[in-house]
Copies of this chain bind each other. A is one copy, B any other.
Amino acid sequence: MTVAALGFMPDRGSDTPIFEQICAAIRSRIRSGALAPEERLPATRALATDLGVARATVVTAYEQLMAEGYLRSRRGSGYTVCAMGEVELSPAEETYPAQDLTEHPPLSLEAGEPDMRLFPYRAWAKCVSRLCRTRPEEMLTGCGGFGHPELRQAIATHVRDWRGIPARPEQILVTSGATEALDICLHALARQGGTVAVEDPGFPPICNFAEAQGLRVRDLFVDAQGAEVPTVGDGTGVVVLTPSHQYPLGGAMSAGRRQSFIAWAAQAGGWIIEDDYDSEFRYAGHPIPAMAGVDAQGRTVYIGSFSKVFSNSLRMGYIVAPDGLVDVLGTAMSAKGARASSMPQAALAEFMHRGEFYRHLRRVRRVYAERHRNLVDRLRRDFSDVGHVQDHHAGMQVVLHLRDGLNDQKLAQSARAHGLGADALSAFCRGSAGLNGLILGASLNDLDEQEEALERLRRVISSTEKSPPQERIFRT
């Protein structure tokens, strides 16, 4: 159908966000039959131009309607109307149409992606509007080099209450996300040409950052207790760890191993960078305090992020510097140039001050816990012939360790071709003892979408030609 035939113009004076207005208009036209099953909707770009809104607004509306089962998308043919009650996707289809480089919506089961449909847009907009009305200057000034004062205060309270780190606001440096934080810490703590030890498997960009700074990288094998501890005197100056929730395997480092790392740092004069990327999502048992709260020597620098718990596109993370490192890290940050924008800082400070942040965090924790539970259960029930799963009761992803004969990279590739964002575990390994598994995101999709995605994954696995059996070491 043409754009004109949609016969709808958004009401900019209304309190209802435009994407919701678009959703409502299309929903009612589908229900009334004005839009028939299999009818094509206007292209996002054309509709956006006609309505005078950003294309992102139309994409958000269409995605919402897809999630609700009103629309489906086919590669190359845009969005079409589903028959009412029809299940959204058939095997050979992708969840999202091919798009620009500029807009990559996540694929189903993509790991580490928050479900932005849960984002409290209205509460956020209310806080921002209040700022606009009363203190507009705060969005533009007053952040200093190290962050908005009230936000630093709020973060200090957050890490004390949620992570057991007794930090003062002066120890908090606000960054444009965890990667900038990591960049600053490596720059400040590693000697030029020195050695940084990282977990294997681990987060691949860490090695790139380190190597781009001219640092040598060595791998720390991860066993059931966590990463192995470097030997004092082997030249390692800095270790980067994910003790709360090993990335990507998912386990927590044992208390004994934590103590060994702290002892190593004290003896070797080394530094620990604790990358605590999603520790707010622990669904059972006692919370595990951060190493930075336990390390009395002050040799652990803590990195936190709002990307997972809140929004990746606001670009906000932070460093909690031990007292003795505030100056060193602050100087490194100044030398590289502060990159966190003042505007979302002021807004987030207000959002935390009003209690909205914790309201949201409690909500997504509850939702993600349910999704995580469902994913683990379904994998155990229906994929036991494919591999096995360990339940760490935490985080935003689950690893399905594949049995011999299945090749994770091949599987991940076919899965992607079918709209599934599964990552191959072996792609996160640097050493020789490769692992073989699929990393599946537990946070992005609701339970129905998860069921549907797992059915698709099942079909992908069945149809993928089996690779010749290889010797694999299972490590979890």
Which residues of A does B touch, CB under 8 Å? 10, 12, 14-15, 17-19, 53-57, 59-60, 100-104, 116, 119, 121-122, 124-126, 128-130, 132-150, 152, 170, 176-177, 179-180, 187, 205, 208-209, 212-214, 311, 313-316, 330, 335-344, 346-347, 349
Q: From residue A150, how far is it (CB to closest CB) to chain B in Å?
A: 5
A138: B residues at CB distance < 8 A:
54, 56-57
Select which of B121, B177, B340 is within 8 A of A137 by beta carbon.
B121
CA distance A152 to B102 in the complex (A): 10
- Tell me if B140 and A311 are in contact (CB < 8 A): yes
A205: B residues at CB distance < 8 A:
335, 337
CA distance A119 to B139 in the complex (A): 12
A15: B residues at CB distance < 8 A:
133
A54: B residues at CB distance < 8 A:
135, 138, 142, 148-150, 346, 349
A125: B residues at CB distance < 8 A:
132-133, 136, 139
A141: B residues at CB distance < 8 A:
56, 60, 116, 311, 313
7 A-B contact pairs sorted by A residue (CB < 8 Å): A56-B137, A102-B147, A103-B149, A121-B140, A212-B213, A315-B338, A315-B341
- Tell me if A314 and B140 are in contact (CB < 8 A): yes
CA distance A152 to B14 in the complex (A): 27
Give the nearest-CB partner of A307 in chain B: B337
A176: B residues at CB distance < 8 A:
176, 315, 339-341
A208: B residues at CB distance < 8 A:
335
Q: Using A116-B140, A208-B335 as known contacts, say yes or no to A149 and B343 having CB atoms under 8 A apart.
A: no
Q: From residue A53, how far is it (CB to closest CB) to chain B in Å?
A: 7
A314: B residues at CB distance < 8 A:
140, 341-343
- Tell me if B60 and A137 are in contact (CB < 8 A): yes
A143: B residues at CB distance < 8 A:
56, 313
- Tell me if A103 and B142 are in contact (CB < 8 A): yes
- Tell me if B179 and A336 are in contact (CB < 8 A): yes
Q: From residue A212, how far is it (CB to closest CB) to chain B in Å?
A: 6
- Tell me if B142 and A60 are in contact (CB < 8 A): yes
Q: Using A12-B134, A342-B315 as known contacts, say yes or no to A101 and B142 having CB atoms under 8 A apart.
A: no
CA distance A124 to B18 in the complex (A): 21
Give the nearest-CB partner of A116 in chain B: B141
- Tell me if B102 and A146 are in contact (CB < 8 A): yes
CA distance A243 to B356 in the complex (A): 48
A57: B residues at CB distance < 8 A:
135, 137-138, 142
Select which of B116, B343, B349 is within 8 A of A347 by beta carbon.
B343
Give the nearest-CB partner of A150 in chain B: B54
Residue of A15, A17, A316 with highest tally of chain B CB at under 10 A: A17
- Tell me if A342 and B313 are in contact (CB < 8 A): yes
17 more contacts with CB within 8 A, not counting A56-B142, A122-B136, are A12-B130, A56-B148, A57-B137, A57-B138, A60-B142, A102-B147, A124-B139, A140-B311, A140-B314, A141-B313, A143-B313, A179-B337, A313-B341, A314-B341, A315-B339, A315-B342, A343-B343
Select which of B17, B148, B336, B344 is within 8 A of A344 by beta carbon.
B344
A335: B residues at CB distance < 8 A:
205, 208
- Tell me if A339 and B144 are in contact (CB < 8 A): no
Q: From residue A349, how far is it (CB to closest CB) to chain B in Å?
A: 8
A53: B residues at CB distance < 8 A:
135
Q: From residue A106, how far is it (CB to closest CB) to chain B in Å?
A: 11
Q: Using A116-B140, A124-B136, A176-B315 as known contacts, say yes or no to A101 and B146 having CB atoms under 8 A apart.
A: yes
CA distance A138 to B124 in the complex (A): 12
Q: From residue A188, how far is it (CB to closest CB) to chain B in Å?
A: 12
A144: B residues at CB distance < 8 A:
100-104
A140: B residues at CB distance < 8 A:
116, 119, 121, 124, 311, 313-314
Residue of A59, A128, A330 with highest tally of chain B CB at under 10 A: A128
